[in-house]
């Protein structure tokens, strides 16, 4: 290094004088101290701090390693109710102050997980991904030369012309039977009541607390707000509540801020926000929803920056784009129901953006799952995003696993039945499930047990009750000789889930019910007795009605409406309850956003004609947001489609 000679200072062959050296070294040490102080204390240095301070998971994880507590099965809920999906609401919504955590078709996040993240969390083994063929720079941003022409390559009018039926039917799905229509109008009134109270007391927050009449934000969405608004857009539109829909649209236009720097659940943001915005766009043609969905989808891409391409469950939505695994997940693993519940939305992000990167990410997940060995053909719930190996041998069709299987069959259906890989994976998984998990109780009830390394746990969660509808909608596309078998299996599982409702004092089902020690479809643990407005049982009623038109499914749905009105309707909204086995109701003070998106929508569809969001044209994501079937040459102009697919 050359230093300019200072005036009046002589130099010898030995260089600077001792006193000058001391001053220079003092200056240099001060500069170094200043730099490191900035690194560790300035607010924008979070990503660098994680690189230097956090541990790394570079050791390969072998199948079967890790703790067998399955994150304590998420049986205990945190003090404050979080959102969960049939995924993480915390998995679909966490519950109340009972300190019990629920597991949703969307796994929950615990306070312990939050504390671990705040303390530094897991380091990112690799902050870069192999370069995408569609992005030569290696950047995870969805920028291609074609991006500026998005509005030219996607034709909404062309999309609408490819639908086999009008989305809202001939008369908005109004049934000709007066009794059925009266019941449908009741469901619509319930939606309006829930929405009006949300707007009055919690506008812009994520959910309504109906007892205390205030809003709940939670930590599942990384600073994003308005989860109930986004989740309600398509429900309001389909029900014809246009004043309420327009209020929601205006909020999205003026107040939905996607420039969040918080730490969010990849799964929850995808199924609720991305799914809700995509659905609203396809139903209405409002470009606002499309642009917001694409902007948010781009923010999720860095979660895939792992050695295997399996995304981690938590992502910072800000400029850092860092991601990590949930603190409660075994050995820093990713959750099957989370990384396996991205395909529907990401395929549509590629269609709308004319950028293949989204589809490439989810197809890479498929490739890895097809390569690794599956015990008895089953998919365990925990997978290391570093080694690509399973962590633990716990298999569940309920929480932690559920919507992975749902998205396999729905990916096949959404592809206009051209996605043979999804079809093969789904029916292979269903075969393994039948061979290992499907059980018959002493009382003749068919249920899905959980599998723990070869040992069956004779428990079925409310979240697993979606599987009746799932098996039903896939009945036509397996081996022809098994069609009736699958329909019968779907009906039997749906019947079992209905029994879990009828055997409670409130006629609402518990979070989990058992089939051992003399129990039959009843919760035997206090921690399983709650109900948080979940939709899965009603979802199966809706599908089974459309597949069979057996009137019992509408009767069962009406029983649920009456139970919701009697036990969950509060003065200022709907609330979950802590114990379904007592009529002395104790509310949990939470109106989950999925109640508006799923529970009430499925009830409304159950009492509507089949041409309202017909299954020939639409599939529902795991948050009940309808997405259209992708037909060849129907979403993009034929001339631009070649650019979308990377060879």
Position 112 scores a pLDDT of 34
Q: Minimum mean pLDDT among 111-115, 186-190, 316-320: which range?
A: 111-115
What is the mean predicted confidence (pLDDT) over 49-58? 34
Q: 587 φ, ψ to 5°?
A: -80, 150
For the chain, the domains span 70-120+177-214+223-644
Cis peptide before 91 (omega within 30 of 0): yes
259 vs 465: which has the higher pLDDT: 465
Who's near 310: CB < 8 A, 6+ residues apart?
A: 304, 334, 339, 365, 368, 383, 384, 385, 388
For tokens 């139903």, what's the residue? Answer: 283
Catalytic residue list: 511
Whether the predicted pLDDT of 139 surpasses 50: no
Q: What is the pLDDT of residues 566-612, one digit of tens each?
A: 999 999 999 999 999 999 989 999 999 999 999 999 999 999 999 99
Position 17 scores a pLDDT of 57
- CA separation for the pair 495, 510 (Å, rounded): 15
Question: Among 447, 329, 441, 444, which residue's Cα sits nearest to residue 397?
Answer: 447
Query: How far, CA to CA in Å, does 632 sit from each of 159, 343, 409?
Result: 10, 18, 19
Percentage of residues of the chain with pLDDT beyond 90: 71
- At residue 399's C-alpha, the angle toward residues 54 and 294, to 5°, is 65
Residue 645's pLDDT band (cuts 50, 70, 90): very low
Question: Among 81, 105, 103, which residue's Cα sits nearest to residue 328?
Answer: 103
Q: Which CATH architecture has domain 70-120+177-214+223-644?
A: Alpha/alpha barrel (1.50)
| Mean pLDDT score of the chain | 83
Residue 639's pLDDT band (cuts 50, 70, 90): very low
Whether the predicted pLDDT of 153 surpasses 90: no
Whether the predicted pLDDT of 3 surpasses 70: no
Position 330 scores a pLDDT of 86
What is the mean predicted confidence (pLDDT) over 223-236? 98
Q: What is the pLDDT of residues 481-492, one digit of tens each?
A: 999 999 999 999
H runs (alpha helix) in 110-204: 111-118, 150-153, 156-161, 178-202
Whether the predicted pLDDT of 380 surpasses 90: yes
For residue 361, the surrounding DSSP H or E stretch is helix 357-371
Which range, 27-36, 96-105, 563-572, has the best average confidence (pLDDT)?
A: 563-572
Cβ of 233: how many Cβ atoms within 10 Å?
27
Pairing of strands 323-324, 314-316: antiparallel
Position 261 scores a pLDDT of 86
Position 26 scores a pLDDT of 67
Position 154 scores a pLDDT of 83
Whether the predicted pLDDT of 99 surpasses 70: no
35 vs 537: which has the higher pLDDT: 537
Which range, 9-23, 120-134, 514-528, has the best average confidence (pLDDT)?
A: 514-528
For residue 456, the surrounding DSSP H or E stretch is strand 455-457
DSSP string, 14-75: TBS-HHHHHHHHHHHHHHHHHHHHHHHHSGGGHHHHHHHHS----S---TT-S-TTGGGGG-
Residue 101's pLDDT band (cuts 50, 70, 90): very low
Q: Which residues pair with 154 in a beta bridge?
A: 636
448 vs 97: which has the higher pLDDT: 448
Whether the predicted pLDDT of 88 surpasses 90: no
Q: Do 383 and 389 touch, CB atoms closer than 8 A?
A: yes
Chain centroid, CA 468 distance in Å:
20
Position 517 scores a pLDDT of 87
Whether the predicted pLDDT of 109 surpasses 70: no
Position 424 scores a pLDDT of 98
Whether the predicted pLDDT of 384 surpasses 60: yes
Q: Which residues pair with 447 in a beta bridge?
A: 439
Q: Minimum mean pLDDT among 44-58, 236-250, 284-298, 376-390: which range?
A: 44-58
Residue 299's pLDDT band (cuts 50, 70, 90): very high
Position 633 scores a pLDDT of 75
Tokens representing 481 are 């000789």
Tokens representing 389 are 């190996």
Whether the predicted pLDDT of 313 surpasses 90: yes
Position 20 scores a pLDDT of 61
Tokens representing 102 are 């629920």
Whether the predicted pLDDT of 47 surpasses 60: no
Tokens representing 162 are 């490819």
Q: What is the pLDDT of residues 430-458, one digit of tens each?
A: 999 999 999 999 999 999 999 998 899 99
Residue 118's pLDDT band (cuts 50, 70, 90): very low
Position 324 scores a pLDDT of 96
């Amino acid at each position: 290094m050359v230093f300019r000679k200072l005036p009046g200072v002589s130099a010898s062959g030995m260089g600077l004088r001792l006193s000058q050296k001391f001053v220079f070294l003092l200056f240099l040490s001060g500069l170094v101290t200043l730099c490191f102080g900035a690194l560790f204390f300035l607010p924008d240095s979070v990503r660098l701090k994680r690189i230097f301070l956090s541990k790394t998971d570079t050791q390969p994880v072998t199948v079967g390693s890790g703790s067998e507590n399955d994150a304590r099965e998420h049986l205990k809920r945190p003090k404050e109710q979080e959102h969960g999906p049939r995924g993480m609401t915390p998995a679909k919504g966490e519950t109340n102050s009972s300190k019990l955590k629920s597991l949703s078709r969307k796994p929950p996040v615990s306070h312990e997980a939050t504390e671990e993240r705040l303390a530094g969390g897991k380091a990112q083994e690799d902050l870069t991904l192999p370069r995408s063929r569609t992005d030569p720079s290696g950047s995870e941003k969805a920028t291609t030369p074609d991006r500026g022409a998005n509005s030219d390559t996607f034709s909404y009018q062309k999309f609408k012309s490819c639908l086999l039926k009008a989305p809202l039917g001939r008369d908005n799905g109004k049934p000709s039977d007066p009794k059925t229509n009266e019941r449908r109008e009741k469901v619509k009134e319930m939606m309006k009541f829930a929405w009006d109270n949300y707007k009055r007391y919690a506008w812009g927050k994520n959910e309504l607390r109906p007892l205390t009449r205030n809003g709940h934000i939670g930590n599942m969405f990384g600073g994003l707000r308005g989860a109930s608004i986004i989740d309600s857009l398509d429900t309001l539109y389909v029900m014809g509540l246009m004043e309420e829909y327009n209020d929601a649209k205006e909020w999205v236009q003026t107040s939905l801020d996607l420039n969040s720097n918080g730490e969010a659940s990849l799964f929850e943001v995808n199924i609720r926000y991305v799914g809700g915005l995509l659905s609203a766009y396809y139903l209405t043609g409002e470009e606002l929803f499309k642009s917001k969905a694409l902007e948010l989808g781009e923010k999720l891409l860095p979660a895939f920056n792992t050695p295997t391409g399996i995304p981690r469950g938590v992502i910072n939505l800000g400029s850092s784009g860092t991601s990590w695994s949930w603190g409660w997940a075994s050995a820093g693993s990713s959750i099957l129901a989370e990384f396996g519940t991205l395909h529907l939305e990401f395929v549509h992000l590629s269609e709308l953006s004319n950028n293949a990167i989204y589809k490439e990410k989810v197809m890479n997940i498929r490739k890895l799952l097809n390569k690794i060995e599956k015990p008895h053909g089953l998919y365990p719930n925990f997978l290391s995003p570093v080694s690509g190996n399973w962590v633990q041998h716990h298999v569940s069709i309920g929480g932690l696993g559920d919507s992975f299987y749902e998205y396999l069959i729905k990916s096949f259906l959404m592809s206009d039945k051209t996605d043979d890989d999804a079809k093969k994976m789904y029916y292979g998984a269903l075969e393994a499930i039948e061979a290992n998990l499907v059980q018959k109780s002493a009382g003749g009830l068919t249920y899905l047990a959980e599998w723990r390394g070869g040992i069956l746990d004779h428990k079925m969660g409310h979240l697993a009750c979606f599987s009746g509808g799932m098996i039903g909608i896939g009945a036509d596309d397996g081996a022809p000789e098994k069609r009736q078998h699958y329909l019968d299996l779907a009906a039997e599982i749906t019947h079992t889930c209905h029994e879990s409702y009828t055997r409670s004092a409130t006629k609402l089902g518990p979070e989990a019910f058992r089939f051992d020690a003399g129990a039959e479809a009843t919760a035997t643990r206090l921690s399983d007795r709650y109900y948080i407005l979940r939709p899965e049982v009603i979802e199966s009623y809706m599908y089974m009605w459309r597949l069979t038109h057996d009137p019992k499914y509408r009767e069962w749905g009406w029983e649920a409406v009456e139970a919701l009105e009697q036990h969950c309707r509060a003065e200022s909204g709907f609330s979950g309850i802590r114990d379904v086995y007592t009529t002395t109701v104790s509310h949990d003070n939470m109106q989950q956003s999925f109640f508006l998106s799923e529970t009430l929508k499925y009830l409304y569809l159950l009492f509507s004609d089949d041409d309202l969001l017909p299954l020939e044209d639409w599939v529902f994501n795991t948050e009940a947001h309808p997405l259209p079937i992708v037909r060849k040459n129907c979403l993009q102009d034929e001339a631009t489609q070649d650019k979308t697919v990377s060879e």
